[in-house]
Structure 1
Amino acid sequence: MFKIEVHAKSAQRPIVIQGAMPVEVDKLIQGLKKVKKEKYGSFVFYKGEINRYPVIVSKTGKGMENAAAATAIAIVKYHPIAIINQGTSGGHVPNIHVFDIVVGKRVTNIGSFKTEIRGKNQGITPTRWMPMDLTASEESEEEVKAGQIRYFEGDQALLADAMKITDQYHKGKVVEGTIGSADVWNNEVDRINWLNSLFSTFVEEMEAASSAQVAESFQVPFLGIRIVSNNIVNGEKYNPNTETAGQSYVYKLVKTYIYNLTKK
């Protein structure tokens, strides 16, 4: 495990806020002061300040690979004190509604599986696939015990600050829960129910777990946050206004986190 060496005071290390799509970061960028845009490959970073504290908004692009690459670049280039990966998501349980926010007590990759051994014409059995933790070994997955789920825990300080400001959010409820990530858009309710039973997921999206994995490898505090934009399980349709609402909540979280950092 590699840990970034930090020579500057912690108060000067930026907070990185990630979002996959322009609509998931535009409002956050508008909230920055003294903005400077930097680009590495296809990855765009908006450096600025919130309450005179350095904050970087990272437009990662969609998907696990983009999120992982953007996270690694952000850590190596900017040495952040914390990373918040936020955006929209689809609900996995009927009591999670559009505009509700899930604060990631933990995130997990719901697309990493090992299948059964089945010969030609023996069919496929997706509900018998076993979760696979690719971080458990550097060797072939033949050496890894199948059925092992890897969860990445949210940073306790970030999590606590996120839950302290729930009374400032009035468009839905805010809950702690498990966020599931994969390069898959699930529209089969039976499959969603199966994923929920296996991983205890509240929502699904396509970035947080890969960002969390990279952040953990560098020992950078991480938190995933997702607002529910639709929920096929209970029939609630997509609402584009969730994108702005989610960013507003994250903006308040960042201000709270900055206050607690700078008062020390």
Structure 2
Amino acid sequence: MPIGLICAIPQELTHLSTLLLDPVPTRAAHTEFITGTLDGHDVVLAGSGMGKVNSALVSTVLADRFGCGAIVFSGVAGGLDPALAVGDVVIADRVIQHDAGLLEDDGLQTYQPGHVPFINPSDQLGYRVDQDLLARVVDRLADFTLAPLSGAAGGGHRPAAIRFGTVLSGDQYLHCDLTRERLHGEFGGLAVEMEGGAVAQVAESFGVPWLVIRALSDLAGHDSRFDFLAFVDEVAASSVAILRRLLPVLSPFAQRRPAG
């Protein structure tokens, strides 16, 4: 079974597409899916576009039409944890769709997507990475070091950190310090993005293991739009470097999916 690789924006997709061997493109819905090999592993690469609907659509095609045995979203995100810096990488151990919920008294009570509390309640909140896969990922990256961002991109001498934790997904581009602080405090989120929660929801529906790898291109505050434009190319390269490191771990999990 191939590994499905999804990116949201062109900068992310370019890094991976130039590395594929024997690429074969196929058009489906709004997306070009490219089958090929990456470092000797069978993969299907797709650019989803931004947002949860786009990523859910592409994840469904990867799982159903291409029979992918694992799905990975590799890209960029905004940082929520003030201890993190631009260029650091967050690998999700859980994803939560922070914008799904009950609006009441000018506040949002977040709930599991598709489970309204007074209709079909669920105690589950978010989706967790397969624990065996996560343990192997942690072990694989234990001695892996990322280079600092270049000086031109505002980097310093500190190597980029790799952290594991909660990633939040929502269909908004976060450009607000107050909201950043609220999301970090309420959910313990390390990063916020627009696709990972939908990828996890679809992958779990198909019984497919998944990963979300996010390099921080901005800190999700009032200067986020300017940080993103300055740093996106280099941090996207960092997430791709980690993805390539993890392919040998992902391949055995992809082969476990029953045919059909």
Q: 1:8 matched to which residue of 2?
A: none
| CA deviation vs aligned residue, 1:161-218 (integer Å, no higher than 9, x gap) | 4322243232311111111001111211111111122222100010000010011011
Task: Note if 1:143 corresponds to 2:119.
Answer: yes
Given that 1:25 and 1:247 are in contact with CA atoms closer than 8 Å, whether structure 2 keeps it comes out as: no
1:169 is matched with which residue?
145
Distance change in 2, residues 1:234/1:115 (3 Å): closer
Task: Kindly state the Cα deviation for residue 256 of structure 1 after the two structures are TM-superposed.
Answer: 4.3
Corresponding residue number in structure 2 for 1:131 = 110
For the aligned residue pairs, the C-alpha RMSD in angstroms reads 2.3
Query: Aligned in 2, Cα 1:32/1:166: closer, same or farther, shift over 3 Å?
Result: farther
SS of structure 2 residue aligned to 1:143: coil
- CA 1:192–1:103: 2 relative to 1, 3 Å: same
Residue 242 of structure 1 pairs with residue 235 of structure 2 = yes
Residues in 1 aligned to 2:252 and 2:59: alpha-carbon distance in whole angstroms: 24
Instruction: Give yes or no for contact 1:94–1:233 (8 Å, CA) kept in 2.
Output: no
Match in the other structure for 1:223: 211
- Whichever residue aligns with residue 200 of structure 2, its letter is A
* Partner in structure 1 of residue 152 of structure 2: none
From the superposition, tell whether residues 103 and 45 of structure 1 become closer, same or farther in structure 2 (CA, over 3 Å): same
**Counterpart amino acid of residue 253 in structure 1:** L
After TM superposition, give the deviation of residue 53 of structure 1 in Å: 2.8
Q: Does the alignment pair 1:44 with 2:44?
A: no
Q: Where do 5+ consecutive residues of structure 2 fail to align?
A: 148-159, 256-260
Counterparts of 1:257 and 1:142 in 2: how far apart (Å)?
39
TM-score, normalised to structure 1's length? 0.82
1:39-86 CA distances to partner (integer Å, 9 max, x unpaired)? Answer: 102112110013433111111111100000101111111111111112
What is the TM-score when the length of structure 2 is the normalising length?
0.83
Could you tell me whether the CA contact under 8 Å between 1:113 and 1:129 is conserved in 2? Answer: yes
Residue 180 of structure 2 contacts residue 220 of structure 2 at CA under 8 Å; is this kept in 1? no
User: CA distance change for structure 1 residues 141 and 232 in 2, over 3 Å: closer, same or farther?
Assistant: closer
Residues 106-121 of structure 1: pairs in structure 2 closer than 5 A: 106-116=94-104
Shift of the 149–96 alpha-carbon distance from structure 1 to 2, 3 Å rule, reads farther
Q: CA deviation at 1:234?
A: 10
Q: Output aligned runs, 1:18-37, within 5 Å.
A: 18-37=6-25
Asked if 1:61 is matched to 2:36, the reply is: no
1:234/1:43 CA distance change after superposition, 3 Å: closer
- Structure 2 residue 76 is the aligned partner of structure 1 residue 88: yes
**Counterpart code for 1:198:** E
Q: Does 1:257 align with 2:250?
A: yes
Which residue of structure 2 lines up, in the alignment, with residue 70 of structure 1? 58
* Contact 1:104/1:225, CA 8 A, preserved across alignment: yes
User: Residue 95 of structure 1 aligns to a residue in which SS?
Assistant: coil
Equivalent of residue 184 in structure 1, options 148, 161, 172: 172
Tell me how far apart the structure 2 counterparts of residues 31 and 162 of structure 1 sit (CA, whole Å): 22
The one-letter amino acid of 1:33's match is: L
Distance 1:196 1:162 in 2: 24
| Residue deviations 1:99-122 (CA, integer Å, cap 9, x gap) | 1111110111011121116xxxxx
Number of residues of Structure 1 aligned to a counterpart in Structure 2: 237
Highest CA radius of gyration, 1 or 2?
1
